[in-house]
Structure 1
């Protein structure tokens, strides 16, 4: 009876350990101090939204099925420095291979865990303050999709050193808006109309711009 009891206990430990690995596992890597959600900081480069299935949702990248869909993740750094990159990913259909690219530095990542995993994505050097981006490319896949990706992870800098959209993803992705108010003399009681005009410099009407000449 004691032998069977001990055997049952060992089997239960193995079962629970296996289940926990399916939920979330990590490959040994640095301790990441910054978590950048793709929901508010990534774009699918060159995608025709009418025909493609890759989706950028409030939970990150889903249904990433096209080799030509490049995922571009932006953030701003106020200083130079060496950082380690990681990704929070999962692959529910076998195994896939993706690449994380910063400038000319390429790191290949194999994703084969059905649960969410933290995987290293290389080490890079940020040169100077400014905007930086990491590209993700799909290389190989066993199933229909390359991977689900929720976050870019960074080690080597504090969260305060980086600027990115942390929440309120709708407003972060839409871009800033500026409203101008003009003082009206108190004695002006009967105003027929107001006139205003905007001059947008060439090349500054980028996607996400919001211009309003007359409004509230």
Structure 2
């Protein structure tokens, strides 16, 4: 399969002028609606000159602003595409193009209507990018575009974010989250979990959370929060189920015991609630970092969770934080890693992370290597709205990949095995900060 790459330069080829069609005209073939709000990005990020909202492309006034809509086509053939659009004022001409064809569309003011862009030849399966750019306008705006209507032999064999039920436009533009679950014997009282992360060059995209040490009650990893800020993040969920931390009863609140230098601690909500800590830290791509997690009962129906970060540049362990979780009496369970994007504006940019050297250590100091993993995805991936996700093993490491509309994907629940190192980490627990 090939990925159709769109450039900002208008390519030579077929250029057709679309005709206005009657929205009430019956269609003779199956058709699907591709909402702009869940499947489109500005090619150059920004907030002025044109925006993507739930209702589609709006406030488009700047000719230098262009957009791209992604649809996965799973069958070759001919597609017929209409756009449901209008201009708030005057009239405008816009260009729709993919890697093979270009079509001009004349948009009028008034109520939104369907405009026919003609036939599009689909020569290969996979994701196709449709670029939307402005050519000319007689007034302030180019057009407001609500959705594409696609019909033809390939229309019923498509994948995209189909609706906004459950706020799916937001989740779909963020992209699919993917996980690696590390199985081990549940009878092992696992007090310690060690993992390593390497982010390849160019894969440290803004909005990425590369989570190294996930467990049943929380998670620990590194983030790219902006072009200027990166964090090491460690969070523990409360046993009280809510998205509002203010609703957590006092006897179920996560309690901070201690924290490292310059570490922020507080509460978090929206995706469960609990205690959160992070350290602003300029970690780098192409460097392998160590993550150490401890989870052990304290004998009073609480479990203490602690997280340390190892930077090879300093050869020192950094304490992030220790939290007490009430009404909990367990060692570490359900160990996993994940890759997610929390910034919808970068959901069209691919990223990858490498995990290696996974080990657990029990209460007696016995180490066990975790060299197997199971691949899973979140709801966006499971329902097939986004299929640009993958994972696997590469030599002595596992990897995860998501976003960017690449064509290959990994089936859910696929099992992987990496080459064992047979050498556990050399960590003197009693000397940790």
Asked if Structure 1 and Structure 2 have the same fold, meaning a TM-score greater than 0.5 normalized by the shorter chain, the answer is: yes
Partner of 2:211: 212
Alignment CA distance shift 1:206-1:124 (3 Å): farther
Query: In the superposition, relative to structure 1, how do residues 75 and 207 fare at CA in structure 2: closer, same or farther (>3 Å)?
Result: farther
Residue 46 (structure 2) pairs with residue 45 (structure 1) = no
Q: Which runs of 5+ in 1 are unaligned?
A: 1-25
1:33–1:158 Cα contact (<8 Å) kept: no
Give CA-to-partner distance per residue, 1:169-215, whole Å, 9 cap, x none: 11111112123333353443361x21122445555556765531123
Q: Which has the higher contact order (CA 8 A, sep 6+)?
A: 1
Task: Report deviation, 1:154.
Answer: 1.0
2:88 to 70, 92, 106: 92
Q: Which moved more, 1:140-149 or 1:104-113?
A: 104-113
Give the TM-score, by structure 2 length: 0.40
TM-score, with length taken from structure 1: 0.77
Please tell me whether residue 189 in structure 1 is matched to residue 189 in structure 2.
Answer: yes
Q: Is 2:43 the partner of 1:33?
A: no
For 1:31-79, what per-residue CA distance to the aligned partner results, in whole angstroms no more than 9, with x for missing partners? Answer: 3711100111111102334xx2311001100001111111111001112
Q: Secondary structure at the match of 1:171?
A: helix
- 1:49-64 mapped onto 2 (5 Å cutoff): 49=47, 52-64=48-60
On the 8 A contact 2:93/2:134 being kept in 1, the answer is yes
Q: Secondary structure at the match of 1:88?
A: strand
Question: Comparing both structures, which one devotes a greater share of its residues to strand?
Answer: 2
1:128 is matched with which residue: 121, 124, 127?
Answer: 124
Please state whether the residue corresponding to 1:195 is helix, strand or coil: strand
Aligned pairs for 1:99-114 within 5 A: 99-114=95-110
Structure 2 Cα separation of the partners of residues 34 and 48 of structure 1:
30
Which of 76, 79, 82 pairs up with 1:80? 76
User: Given that residues 33 and 153 in structure 1 are in contact (C-alpha distance below 8 angstroms), is that contact kept between their aligned partners in structure 2?
Assistant: yes
Change (3 A) 1:133 1:175: same
Change (3 A) 1:66 1:182: same
Give the match for residue 8 of structure 1: none
Q: Deviations over 1:69-110 (max 9, x none)?
A: 111110011121111111000112011111111224221111
Cα distance in structure 2, aligned partners of 1:154 and 1:183: 44
Q: Secondary structure at the match of 2:211?
A: coil
Quote the Cα distance in structure 2 between the aligned partners of 1:41 and 1:68.
20
Alpha carbon RMSD of aligned pairs, Å? Answer: 2.4
Number of the residue aligned with 1:69: 65
How many correspondences in the alignment? 188
- Aligned residue for 1:196, secondary structure, equals strand
Distance 1:154 1:30, change over 3 A: farther
Residues 82 and 158 of structure 1, relative CA distance in 2, 3 Å threshold? closer
